[in-house]
Amino acid sequence: MSAAWPPRGARAAAREGEGSPVSALPASLPAGPSGVTRYLQLASVLRQRIANGHWRVGDRLPTVQQLASELGVARITVRQAYGRLAAEGLITTHRGRGTHVASTAQGRGPSPALRAAINDPLQHPPALSIRILDTQRDQALPATLHEGGSADTQYLRIRKLHLHDAQPFCLVDLYVAQREHDRFPPRAIEHAKLAGLLREHGSRPLGHLHQTMTVGAAERAQADALDYPFAAPVAHVVRRLTDVDGRIVYAGDFWYRGDRFVLDTVLPADLLFAYPLAVVPATRSET
Amino acid sequence: MSAAWPPRGARAAAREGEGSPVSALPASLPAGPSGVTRYLQLASVLRQRIANGHWRVGDRLPTVQQLASELGVARITVRQAYGRLAAEGLITTHRGRGTHVASTAQGRGPSPALRAAINDPLQHPPALSIRILDTQRDQALPATLHEGGSADTQYLRIRKLHLHDAQPFCLVDLYVAQREHDRFPPRAIEHAKLAGLLREHGSRPLGHLHQTMTVGAAERAQADALDYPFAAPVAHVVRRLTDVDGRIVYAGDFWYRGDRFVLDTVLPADLLFAYPLAVVPATRSET
DNA sequence: TATCATTTGTACGTATGTATT
DNA sequence: GAATACATACGTACAAATGAT
């Protein structure tokens, strides 16, 4: 969806020489066709290194001069990127002393609890809360969600936000077969995951869960809802759950903040060779 | 100097006025320096309206004048946003006739062949080629790849680039147990996938394939190798394959260009409820 | 205390892309 | 389409704070 990132003729000396300045960025495109300013691009890479533990709290970051010559950008560009991160509280800068990591804003990647909340189709951990943004009855299933099953006639459309420890991490736009939803206890969709509700209260046994995962840049609506920078990396998952007859009982789009997303999968080797119908993702619930 | 990060005037008007040609877009776009150009943010809002079906193929979009005065932006800004979408093939503009939706662009993205090349651990399609960048013998397995199995003593480290139709889409940095690799035919790693080689020539039956997927912004090394813009979205997959004894026979990091990545998974419902050890991704090889 | 190299902060001039009128 | 204003980004230079000599 988020249309091809402009494949600008990016190419540069790809050496990893320590200390040797690597001439770099196309050096002529200020904002470039990407439309995202250079200091913001730099900021998101630095933010990522702090989030994934490459730099830890207290570590000293490269000097402005080092980064500038390594990347082939002006010092003011690095300064703006650092300024952005400082405004977010991630780093501190002091004259003569350098730039240091002040906080990680969240440990080294998503916590095990959040990983389980994302990967386990049934479990609804206490820290997970669901904020329903909007519901509409009597909707038809969009054509893009038909694939892989036959559509029912009427769906309930639900737009909702998933939060973990009160922090939004996933924006959802999904369709549940109305006849199935009407069998649920009231307000159940706020406190349980749909796969569990359909297994518990559905009219027919379930068949398959299809997932298609892509990555992209946050569009406006997603950025606003997730409290996340525009154009920052996001994961997009399309999920479709069918019953044994191949009828789609629910299908929808899930957008995850890039810094709060991990997909875990495990594939036993015997399934691996039974391709195509093979790989097996999974997350251990705890530890 | 620079403004606070997330809390831009976030508010997403979310009404769904059916039939009224001119929709209520967010009343205004964020003011002040956001680091992202205005016309791109506007393009993002419009792109989503098309993607989620608010405007369908053939529908007429508001005139430049209408949009400009509604949003309080200059006409040229709207023109640039329309130009962007036109370049993506989403809309067409004709003098005197207006601007219309040409496509929802939903089908775009990686071809089925590329999807299979990414998702099938065994298949090596003709269009796929492997460029070995570097190999080093007698390496120890890095600590970050230990998890989920016991490490062997000596590994062959391979850095390589995967191309599809001569276009790079994946950068790989992986470790193969040396004693297993030395059983392979010469240069086999350039023409077959490792899982297949290990199944064919390995000393022990295979156990499990673990995959951990995250998203992020392209670092310089990845951007250069993949011929992709710095800080553009990438998928990062860590794969670990063990034999039946739990020994890691290969493990490595895979970085995919965001615009050339799709992960497909299928989970039979009975496995779904055997959590944790459950979900099943898969891609049909053809069609 | 004084000096020095390092590093962040500020400033000026210029060029380009963006956005408004 | 033209004129204007602004933010980004480059290069350069200098001031101020820090830590070590």
Q: What is the DSSP-derived secondary structure letter of residue A3?
A: -
- In degrees, rounded to 5, the angle at the alpha carbon of residue B31 between the alpha carbons of residues A75 and B74 is 110
**Interface residue A267 vs chain B (CB under 8 A):** yes
Beta carbons within 8 Å of B111's beta carbon, 6+ residues apart = none
Domain boundaries, chain B: 8-106, 112-265
A43, A52 in Cβ contact below 8 A? Answer: no
Most A CBs within 10 Å, among B147, B244, B279, to test the A interface? B279
Q: In the structure, how far is the CA atom of residue A89 from the C1' atom of nucleotide D13, in angstroms?
A: 30
pLDDT in tens, A70-124: 899 999 999 999 999 998 889 999 989 999 999 877 767 788 889 888 988 888 8
Q: Do A268 and B207 touch (CB under 8 A)?
A: yes
User: Residue A79: which nucleotide is closest by CA–C1'?
Assistant: C8
State which fold the B8-106 domain adopts.
Arc Repressor Mutant, subunit A (1.10.10)
* A2 Cβ nearer than 7 Å to chain C strand: no
Q: Which residue of A has its CA nearest to B89?
A: A3
- Measured to protein CB atoms, the chain C nucleotides within 7 Å are 5-12, 15-21
Q: Per residue in A129-163, is it b (16+ CB within 10 Å) or e — as a string? A: bbeeeeeeeeeebbebbeebbebbeebbbbbbbbb
Q: In the structure, how far is the CA atom of residue B33 from the C1' atom of nucleotide D7, in angstroms?
A: 7
A284: alpha, beta or left, given left = phi > 0 and alpha = psi -120 to 50? beta
Structure tokens at B279: 């979900």
Q: Which CATH number fits domain A112-265: 3.90.1150.10, 3.10.20.80, 3.30.420.40, 3.40.1410.10?
A: 3.40.1410.10
Question: Distance (Å, rounded) from C-alpha A241 to C-alpha A254?
Answer: 14
* pTM tops 0.75, yes or no: yes
pLDDT tens sequence for chain B (287 residues): 333 322 222 222 222 222 333 344 555 666 556 778 888 888 888 888 888 778 888 889 988 888 888 778 888 888 888 888 888 888 888 888 889 898 886 666 788 889 888 988 888 889 999 999 999 999 999 988 987 789 999 999 999 999 999 999 999 999 999 999 999 999 999 999 999 999 999 999 999 888 899 999 999 899 999 998 888 899 999 999 999 999 999 999 999 999 999 998 888 877 766 544 444 434 433 32
Question: Distance (Å, rounded) from C-alpha A138 to C-alpha A157?
Answer: 8
Burial of B27 (0-12, 13-18, 19+ CB in 10 A): exposed
pLDDT in tens, B128-174: 999 999 999 999 999 889 877 899 999 999 999 999 999 999 999 99
Per-residue confidence band for A225, with pLDDT thresholds at 50, 70 and 90: very high
Question: Distance (Å, rounded) from C-alpha A277 to C-alpha B211?
Answer: 16
Strand order in the sheet with B206-217: A263-268, B206-217, B233-243, B248-257, B167-177, B155-164, B128-139
- In degrees, rounded to 5, the angle at the alpha carbon of residue A149 between the alpha carbons of residues A146 and A155 is 60
Task: Report how far Cα A107 is from the mean position of its chain's Cα atoms.
Answer: 17
Q: Do B273 and A122 touch (CB under 8 A)?
A: yes
* A27 Cβ nearer than 7 Å to chain C strand: no
Chain A / chain B CB contacts < 8 angstroms: 308
